[in-house]
Amino acid sequence: MTRTPLTPPPAPPPAAAPRAGRVQAAAGAPPQRGRSGAQSLDADEHGATLPTAREVDVDGLLKRLHLANARRVWRDLVRRAEAGQWSFHEFLSVLVAEEVAHRQQTRVQRLSRRATFPFLKTIDDFDFTYQTTVKLSLLGSALSPDFVTDGRSLILHGRPGRGKTHLAVAVAYRAILNGFDALFVTAAELIDDLSAAFRAGRLADALGRYVAPDVLVVDEVGYLTYGTDAANMLYHVVNDRHRLRRAMVFTSNKHPDAWGAVLHDDDLADAIVDRILERGRLLHLDGPSIRTQHLGLDAPASAEAASAQAVRISGISTPEFPEPTGAARDETGKRRSGAPRVNTSADRRMLDQPRQ
């Protein structure tokens, strides 16, 4: 029996090539627009048609991006751009700059409130003309970002009214402008708060408020009387901040050598000052009191002027009853025995009359 070889079925004819520029749509798929190189602005990466510029909800998108200031000003900027024929780059630059400036201003205001400053003063508000020991050049390092990043410290020492608190607030406010946060507290508030937390068994939690800020200002060290655990409470704060290299500013009317008597512990006071001044400076403020400078109480000639004013009676510039003349006194300034006391013109006339 002879076998007949099987022949393969004929191959299907090749599909016709699509015309140039036309893309065959798959069965059931919507036709796609042709793209050459870059994707069309009217379609996303999946081929879906994007809304046109007039259909975009700009307010909704800016709100979704949390651009509150841009949402407020973009309409006005559009009118200005159309009137001034701005380019797209100019319009976008102004819009972004307005948003950044607004966020910076909002941040400074928020951190200034959180710092609990008693007042807001800058270094430009301080009058250095009454100071002979402190100049603006000496405070330059305290106003730079390095003061915070290096964990430096500053003690402002002087009599009341010399501007210690003003300078401390100015240093902390400059740190906020440089991108850091700060906290202002008086020494009495700090010690009382930590003492109460220690008695309640939550000292570790309470310390975080004073250790966490980049800059801590402790005002009026030595003004008030503290409890017996004052040195212990202040040492915890200073030691932790010194270990973490965080900046500190102290103001005091007493020299650091006298802090031991104020804090009731000489050894802990020495340890506190030692840690502050390791990377810190001590600046003494002199000059007249800013609060009473209009009265001239700190002028050198004030005491002499007051004594000279005391001898004036009813506007008379010279004493109404002068001391005995020099003829009636010896070399030691004492009146000679037997010398007559001449006080008035009537007495002189009686002495000059010849005796009968």
The tokens of 354 are what? 């010849």
Range list for CATH 3.40.50.300 in the chain: 123-285
Task: Read off φ and ψ for residue 255, nearest 5 degrees.
Answer: -65, 145
Model pLDDT, residue 132:
76
Model pLDDT, residue 55:
66
Model pLDDT, residue 287:
81
Q: Are strands 153-158 and 215-221 parallel, antiparallel or unpaired?
A: unpaired
**123-285: CATH, from 1.10.287.110, 3.40.640.10, 3.90.1150.200, 3.40.50.300:** 3.40.50.300
Predicted confidence (pLDDT) per residue in 117-174, tens digit: 999 999 999 988 888 788 888 888 999 999 999 999 999 999 998 899 999 999 999 9
Of residues 238, 117, 98, 258, the one with CA closest to residue 174: 117
Residue 253 · residue 187 · CB < 8 Å? no
- Spans of the chain below 70 pLDDT: 1-55, 293-356
**Residue partners of 288: CB distance under 8 A and separation at least 6:** 130, 161, 296, 297, 298, 299
Predicted confidence (pLDDT) per residue in 278-293, tens digit: 999 999 998 888 777 6
Residue 154 · residue 284 · CB < 8 Å? no
